[in-house]
Every structure is written in structure tokens, then in C-alpha cells.
Structure 1
């Protein structure tokens, strides 16, 4: 037997935002739902549950959902063990908890009926990591059985998430300050005879000490030719003279991501390293001077890519030169599925969008040179929130 449980008494931990912020998000989501003729929306992504309700847990390896309607506060469907995170530290504090032996899809269908939308048009997030094919099959079968008109409704909450409010931006700015401390420790620790693991221990410790939570992706601290293996983390490899250091680090403040890439070298860098680095720096300059409200993501990409072409580097496979960042949970720290800086994208930048721009040169198995910043789109330009010095850091 399912029922809606409501948390009472003082919160066990404060919410990340004031009530007005959650009300703004809910109102905007409902407007987008109305535009698609939806009576309800079922969300599955942990980022979207957090965005709408402040439900926060790494326990999303079990099914979880949030049902949004036009006349009732959002209600989460959560494994009973994890439902305490809605009851004790969320905005709306409403949850249907299911036991491990119960079918959460049936709990979701029950909730639609309880909220009076089971005969209406119900959208579901159709592009997410967090709904298995089997669960989707059961949801569709149950909808047919109960007379629910179930339709795919991708990117509704993501559209709201794409433009950040000032409270959200403040968390991202805090992340930038944390990254400066962590990157400083990284290059102070690195050197001839030092292991990647030793640097990682110091960097991760600095992130936590200065205010970061766990990130959507681990810290990437590659040396030598190892970074040409995409998303290389750390190992027991010992640094030696001439090694290139490729450090990409993120900080997470109240689940909001800020990221930064910096380069170093054990001893004097080679001429080729410096040529590649200067090309990356020029690409970054072009991106930051082009991005502003009203331009397209494709125009920003073209500006950055032109610097590589001018320096004699072909962009090869046409990979993107950046991606949106905001709320994140593993397995990703980005919002590139919402908007990214890729060739020919006609998505228009808006003030309040936030990007991690990553103009880099990757040549397997030779080496990686990349330099990045996290920036906020403004009406007439950008605000860069990462401020650790660029250039090559020689250790």
C-alpha cells in the first residue's frame, strides 16, 4: 500500500535556496508543461529532482522520480531508505517511499492516480541515464492499463536549468575560489620524482578543506603521455624531467559545478608544447571575447576554432570547445546535453548561462595541451569565475 508521506518539524539540514527560488523554478516548469499540453511531468534525473525539490543523495542507483502537476507541490517517489532525504531536508517534503521488494513503477502510477492526473496527458523525461529500458516498458504498459496518455517530454526542466539565477551563480563563483586553492596545491606538490597519487591526495584534500562536495567526475591529474587516454585520473606513475602536466579539476558547491584546466611541465617545456599552449590561449581569448547574450553556440565555437586553424592545427573530429555547467551528479559534471559549444549549433546564448570552455589540442599518443575557464554569459560579454594564472606552470 502506497501513501504520500510529509515531513514535519525542523529540517535536519538547511535547503540550499530560499523558498522563493524553488517557487520560481516550479512556476517556470509549469509554464513549459502547459506549452506542451501536459497535465503532469515525471522527472527521473537526480539533477532535476534536486533542482525542483532539493532532494539530495548519491543513492539514485535505485529508481527515483518526481511528479510535477499544476495544482500540487511536487511529490517524489523514492526508495524508502532514501526517502529521509526528502522528509528531512527538501523544499516540499512530500514523498512516496517504496520498499525494496516493491515495484517503484507501480508506486509512480499510483501517485498519478492519487494526484488526479491519471486520465490526463503525462510527460516523462525521455532522455536520461536514470530510467532503464525495463522500467520504461513497465511504465508504458501500466499507463495503457490505467488509461494514462504517456508522452515523451525531454528537456523541460533542463530548459529552466540552462539559465542560472543569482543564487545559483554565487555557488559557481564560490567553486572558482576553491579551484584556485586546489590548483595552487597541485603545482606546489608536483615535481621530479613525485607520483600522480601524491598530487591527487593533496588536491582532493584541498578541495574538501576549502568547501567542495563530491564532484560529478573525479579529479583528472595526468602526466607525460597518460592524458592522451581520455579522462585519465591518477596512478602511481612517477613524474620525470620533461613531463607535461595536464590538470583538470572541478569543485562542487551545493551540487553546482565549476571546473578549470591548467598545464604545467617538469622542467623547461619544449618549443612544441609552448606553440600548442599559445594556440589554446588564443582560442580561449577568442571564445571569451565572442560569447555574450544573443550569439549562437556555433558562433562561439567558430571563433575559438579559428585560432587553432590560424596556428596550423586542424580541429580534426570536430569535438566541442565547451559545455554548460550547473547542477551535477556522477557520472558527469557538465550540462552539455542542454547546450554545448559545438560546430554549427544554432542554440542562442542567454545571460545567466554558464559554461566550462575547454579549447585543447589532443594528439594520441604524443600529449595533451588544454587550458580552460568557467564563465558566465552576460548581456555584453562574459564574467570569468576561475582566476588561477594561465600559462605554463614549471615545477
Structure 2
């Protein structure tokens, strides 16, 4: 598989990181998070569950380190000349320190990630001890890496558009299959087929299918349950193209919703629209969340809403398809929306053991407002 982007795209990203290193008086950075490694180098493999890292120096060197058997993968997905593999018998933490000594001899200040899911405490502490033992001062660079990924380039946006088209196809297939008498497994199979046939690669997270009272439980995947008459089926999924994602949550039903489920459906649509009205350049994610919550409260359903109202999306590997650690639509978010950001606005109302309704949109913030990328026409009007 060839690299997703031209070499110039990755060179620009590395140049931005190197400028950050120089500004922070750092000699090099060691990057472990799979999404950040992919963003800076193009390297993408399902084998990221084993130790891998990317070393970038302030003066122009860059090297990938990974399990020896993965080096073929890296050769195909990156433009890197320096790809080092360690045998399974080796200590990859020590191999990291040795590679750093080769590409940045005498490094006295090194940037590291302190919040990477894929560098657990034990190897993080050992790596820190090795680097500090060689005289290096460590600085956490998580925020700088996150800031670089938040605004998407035109090339990245094209990958997200491709993912959105595939998501829409998968959602349409699942929605058409979600009829009374059908099993949730059948609906999930339709989603998988629609996503994969329309261009998706392996997902950051599998589709969710929950019907009737099961939809009141967050992150409920498919089960053996058969869909009944006059009940909602909550669906959520994201295709992945070039490791870029574009999620969509949607709810469908055949027949008539009654009681709290019917009220939740109306309130959820109003909440999504209220949040979207705030998604524009200079707009506040916190204000979008507040507008979403206000619409739900106005319907007397505040007790059904217990989460943020959205999050950034872009590159992702399992176990997630989002970039919520980069930006979330929540009370504490202080950054403002800017052109080139892509966010998933996703109000979901749930009552445990009763019902769940969710209606979302992945949107691109443009110079004048926003553009909705994910949608499904098959749904509440049925």
C-alpha cells in the first residue's frame, strides 16, 4: 500500500514539528501514539499493539522503530529511508534509546508523550530513566502534537470526505435493514457490507446497533435481539479511509413512537440543530454544547443527557474513531472553532432499559460556516 499523501504533505508536518522543537529548545522528539506516528510519517498498521515509535530531530533527522516483521509495512506506507526493526527477543525501550543516540548524538533535551495509550507506565518509566541517565532533560509535547492535528489540510479533508461517503452508504444499508422482524445481527451485517463495499478500510471502532430498550445503554453493539414493531433502532458507525474517519449516529423506526421515546426523538433533532448553529468560525464549542443542552432541557428531558455534545474527528486507530482529546464540545473547552476543523456533533438521549435516540452529523468548519458531511435520509419520517 503506497503512502496516502504526497511526500510534501508529510514534509510540511515534520517541518512544523521541528519548528516547535526549536522553539522549545529541544533536540529531538520521540512519538509513540499510533495516530501521531501516522500523521507525521504515514506509517499505518493493525500491528500498532506492539511497541513502535518515531524519532524526529530538530535538525532534520527522522527514524521509525518497530517490530522487525513490521518494517515491510513501513516501507510501503512511508517515504522514510531510516526504518529500524527490532527482533522479538530484543528490548524495544533500550532499542529506542540506542536509536536516539544514533540520530541525535548528545541530545540534552528530548520531547516525549506523557499521555500515549500505547506507552504504558512501565516502559515509559524505563525509557525516561534511560534518557535521563544519559543526561537528557525530558519535556512533554502532547499538546503541541495535538494542536498540529486539529486543523486539517485540504488533502486530509479529501480523505475525510471519502470516509463520509462510505459512512453514508453503510448507514443507508443498515437503516434499510432495520425493520420489524429483522435481527440486530442482520442490521450489523448490512452496515459492515455497506461500509466495506463503498471503500472503508478496517475501522477505528465497529458499528453500534441497538433496538428498543437496548438503545438506552451507551455503546451497545449488536445482539441476537429481534427488532419489534413501533420501536426505535439506534445506529452509529464510521468508515475509515486513509485512517481518517467520519462518524454518523442515526435512529430509524417503522411505525409510531409513543411516550418518552417520541418526545426524545423531537428533542434530539432540535438539540442537534441548535448545536450546529454554533459550529462556525470563531464559534465556541462550549456554546454549542450549551445550546444542545438547552434544547433538551426545554423539552423537559435534561435527565436523559449526560455527556459532551461532540468531538473532533480525523486520524484514528482502535479503540476509537474520534479525536476528543484534541477538542470536545463540552463546558470546559476554551478553544474556538476555526476553518479546517472537522467535528462530530452527536446529541444522544437515553433512558436505561427504555429507549435511546441519537441524531448526529460530522461537519467541516468552512470560512463562512460549516458543511455537513454525514447524513442519512432513511429514518424518523418512516
Q: Give the TM-score, by structure 2 length.
A: 0.96
1:213: how far off? 0.8
Structure 2 SS opposite 1:60? helix
Alignment of 1:101-116 (within 5 A): 101-116=89-104
1:185-209 deviations in Å (ceiling 9; x for gaps):
1122222221111111121011111
Stretch deviating more after TM superposition (24-33 or 312-321):
312-321
1:75-132 deviations in Å (ceiling 9; x for gaps):
1110101111122321224212111110111111111111125432001011110001
Determine which of 115, 120, 143 is the counterpart of 1:155.
Answer: 143
Q: How many residues end up aligned between the 2 structures?
A: 382
Q: Does the 8 A contact of 2:212 with 2:227 survive in 1?
A: yes
> For 2:295 and 2:287, how far apart are their aligned partners in 1?
13
Alignment of 1:75 with 2:63, yes or no, is yes
> For 2:132 and 2:114, how far apart are their aligned partners in 1?
17
Q: Does the 8 A contact of 2:340 with 2:365 survive in 1?
A: yes
Alignment of 1:29 with 2:17, yes or no, is yes
Structure 1 SS opposite 2:169? helix
1:152-209 deviations in Å (ceiling 9; x for gaps):
2222222111100111111111122212221221122222221111111121011111
1:212: how far off? 0.5
Match of 1:328 in 2: 316
Runs of 4+ in 1 over 4 A off after TM superposition: 315-318
Structure 2 SS opposite 1:59? helix
Match of 2:131 in 1: 143
Structure 2 SS opposite 1:250? strand
Determine which of 61, 64, 67 is the counterpart of 2:52.
Answer: 64
Alignment of 1:347 with 2:335, yes or no, is yes
> For 2:328 and 2:2, how far apart are their aligned partners in 1?
32
Q: Does the 8 A contact of 1:112 with 1:118 survive in 2?
A: no
- Extract unaligned runs of 5+ from structure 1: 1-12
Determine which of 99, 105, 114 is the counterpart of 1:126.
Answer: 114
Q: Does the 8 A contact of 1:280 with 1:360 survive in 2?
A: yes
> For 1:176 and 1:104, how far apart are their aligned partners in 2?
37
Match of 1:4 in 2: none
Alignment of 1:174 with 2:184, yes or no, is no
Stretch deviating more after TM superposition (183-192 or 308-317):
308-317
> For 1:339 and 1:161, how far apart are their aligned partners in 2?
11
Alignment of 1:242 with 2:230, yes or no, is yes
Q: Does the 8 A contact of 1:371 with 1:390 survive in 2?
A: no
Match of 1:20 in 2: 8
Structure 2 SS opposite 1:183? helix
> For 2:353 and 2:294, how far apart are their aligned partners in 1?
24
Match of 1:198 in 2: 186
> For 1:270 and 1:318, how far apart are their aligned partners in 2?
23
Q: Give the TM-score, by structure 1 length.
A: 0.93
> For 1:87 and 1:176, how far apart are their aligned partners in 2?
28
> For 1:117 and 1:127, how far apart are their aligned partners in 2?
26
Structure 1 SS opposite 2:302? coil
1:360: how far off? 1.6
> For 1:33 and 1:311, how far apart are their aligned partners in 2?
50
1:288: how far off? 1.5
> For 1:380 and 1:324, how far apart are their aligned partners in 2?
19
Structure having the higher helix fraction is: 2
Q: Does the 8 A contact of 1:53 with 1:74 survive in 2?
A: no
